[in-house]
Amino acid sequence: MDWKSTKVLVTGGASFIGSHLVDALLEREAQVRVVDDLSAGKIENIKGHVDNNRIEFIKADLREPGIAREAVKGMRIVFHLAADHGGRGYVDLHQAGPASNLFFDGLIFYEARRAKVEKVIFASSGCVYPNFLQKDANKEIYLTEDKVSPPYDADNMYGWAKLMAELTLKAYHKEYGIKAASCRYFTVYGPRGVENHAVIAMIAKAFLKMDPYEVWGDGTQIRNWTYVEDIVKGTILAAEKIDDGTAVNLGTMERIKVIDAVREVLRYTGHNPKIVFRPDMPVGPINRVADNSLAKKILGWEPAVKFMDGLHKTTDWYFSTKNKEEVRSALQAKLTER
Ligand SMILES: NC(=O)c1ccc[n+]([C@@H]2O[C@H](COP(=O)([O-])OP(=O)(O)OC[C@H]3O[C@@H](n4cnc5c(N)ncnc54)[C@H](O)[C@@H]3O)[C@@H](O)[C@H]2O)c1
C-alpha cells in the first residue's frame, strides 16, 4: 500500500504506542490527524510534529457528543488506539473506567462507517484471552488466536471491552462491508513507555535506587514483552494486509519471567538492593505468551528486537531523559493509575 498523502486518523496518537505509530506513518508520508484528550497521552510525544505542522492535532475527548464524527470526517484509514487503559495495577483495580471503552469503541466504529472510512485498525490486547488458560506457570502454552472463543473469559472489564470491539468490527465487516483488522498487542515496552507498565516500573525503581526493591507477586509470572517498534511495524502491516476483521497476535514468543527481567535491569544499572516480593499486589495472569505464527503467515511479520536488547535500549532512554524528583513524586500513584 502506498501511504503517501493517505488521510489517516490515529485516535490516542499522543500515547506511548500511538506516537510511535504517528512517527512511522509520517515516514511513509501519510497525512496524519491525531485526536487525543491527553488524559494519559503526552503532548511531548508528538510536539515536534505539531510544532512543524506535520500533523493535525485535535485535543478532545472522543466520548463527547460530536467529537468522534468530526474526528473521522474525510479520513480513509482509522487506527483506533484511544482507550481508558493502564498497566496491571489499573486493569485489576479499575472496572468502571475501562468499561467506557465499550461505548467509546462502538462510537468510533459507528462514525467510521457512517463517514465511509475504508478501513479501521483496532488496538486490541492479549487481555482478550481466557484467564483459565493462563494460570499455570509450568505449562509451555502459546496463545493462538483461535483460543479466543466460547466460553470467553477475558481479563477484567478492560479485556471484555477489547473483545467486544473485536467482535463488533468482525460483524461490521460481515454485514456492512467495512474493512477492518484487530491487532492483539502483548505487553508493549520501549522509549516513551509509562511507569504503570511492568518493564518501565522496574527501570524506574532502579533509577531511584529503591532499596528494598519491590516486585509484585512472587516473580514467577511469565510474559512476552514486545518492543514498540515491532508493534508499530505489525500494526501497519495489518492495515495493509488484513481486510476481513481478523484479529492477529502481535507479540514475541520469548518467555520471560518477571524476576529474570528484574535481575537484568538491576545488573545492567548496577543497583544491588534487597528484593522484596509483594504477593498482595496485582499480578495478572501467571503465564501469558503469544503464538505469532498467524502474523508470520499473513503479515510476513516477526519481532526483530530481542527482549534483552530492547530492555537495554529502554533503560538507556529512561536514564538519559528522566528527572529523579519527578519520577519519585509520581511513581506510587502511577503503579495503580493511568
Ligand atoms: N501498552 C501496552 O502494553 C498495550 C497492550 C495491549 C493493548 N494496548 C492498547 O494500545 C493502545 C495504546 O496504548 P498505550 O500503552 O500507548 O497507552 P495509553 O493508554 O496512554 O493510550 C491511550 C491514549 O488514548 C488517549 N485517550 C484515552 N481516552 C480518550 C478519549 N476519551 N478521547 C481521546 N483520547 C483518549 C490517552 O490520552 C492516550 O494517549 C490502547 O488502546 C491500549 O489499550 C496497549
Q: What are 161-202's pLDDT values in tens digits? A: 999 999 999 999 999 999 999 999 999 999 999 999 999 999
Q: Quick one: pLDDT at residue 94?
A: 94
- The angle, 0 to 180 degrees and rounded to 10, between the axes of the packed helices 16-27 and 228-241 is 60
Average pLDDT (219-241) is 97
Q: Which atom of ligand 1 is nearest to the CA of 124?
A: 7
The model's pLDDT over 132-150, given as tens digits with 9 standing for 90+, comes to 999 999 999 999 999 999 9
Determine if ligand 1 sits within 6 Å of the CB of residue 155. no
pLDDT value of residue 1: 86
**Size of the chain, expressed as the number of residues it contains:** 338
pLDDT digits (tens, 9 = 90+) for 247-263: 999 999 999 999 999 99
* Residues contacting residue 323 through CB under 8 Å, at least 6 positions apart: none
Q: What is the pLDDT of residue 334?
A: 84
Atom nearest to 100 CA in ligand 1:
31
Q: Are 13 and 21 in contact (CB under 8 A)?
A: yes
The mean pLDDT value for 270-288 works out to 94
Beta carbon of 61 within 6 Å of any ligand 1 atom: yes
**How far away, in angstroms, is 79 Cα from ligand 1 center?**
12
Q: Is ligand 1 within 6 A of the CB of residue 120?
A: no
> Residue 338 has what pLDDT?
79
SS3 (DSSP) at 34: strand
Asked if residue 13 has pLDDT above 90, the reply is yes
- For residue 81, which atom of ligand 1 is closest to its CA? 41
Its CATH class, for the domain covering 7-188+226-250, is alpha beta
Predicted local distance difference test score (pLDDT) of residue 335: 84
Cα of 89 vs centre of ligand 1, distance in Å, is 15
How far apart are the CA of 237 and the centre of ligand 1, in A? 20
Query: Which pLDDT band holds residue 332 (cuts at 50, 70, 90)?
Result: confident
Average pLDDT over residues 207-236: 97
Interval between CA 84 and ligand 1 midpoint (Å): 6
Whole-model pTM: value is: 0.98
190 Cβ inside 6 Å of ligand 1: no
Q: How much is the average pLDDT of 12-25?
A: 98
* C-alpha to C-alpha distance for 55 and 44, rounded to whole angstroms: 14
In the chain, pLDDT over 70 holds for what percent of residues?
A: 100
* Top-level class of domain 194-223+254-289+305-336: alpha beta
Closest by CA to 332, choosing from 208, 226, 163, is 208
pLDDT at position 333 is 85
Residue 190 · residue 226 · CB < 8 Å: no
Cα–ligand 1 centroid distance for 190 (angstroms): 15
Supply the pLDDT for residue 180: 98
C-alpha closest to that of 286 among 185, 218, 198? 218
Q: Report pLDDT digits (tens) over 259-273.
A: 999 999 999 999 999
- What are 38's three cell numbers? 491527553
So where are the chain's domains? 7-188+226-250, 194-223+254-289+305-336
Give the residue, by CA position, lying nearest to ligand 1 atom 11: 81
Contact by Cβ (8 Å): 219, 225:
no
230-239 average pLDDT score: 98
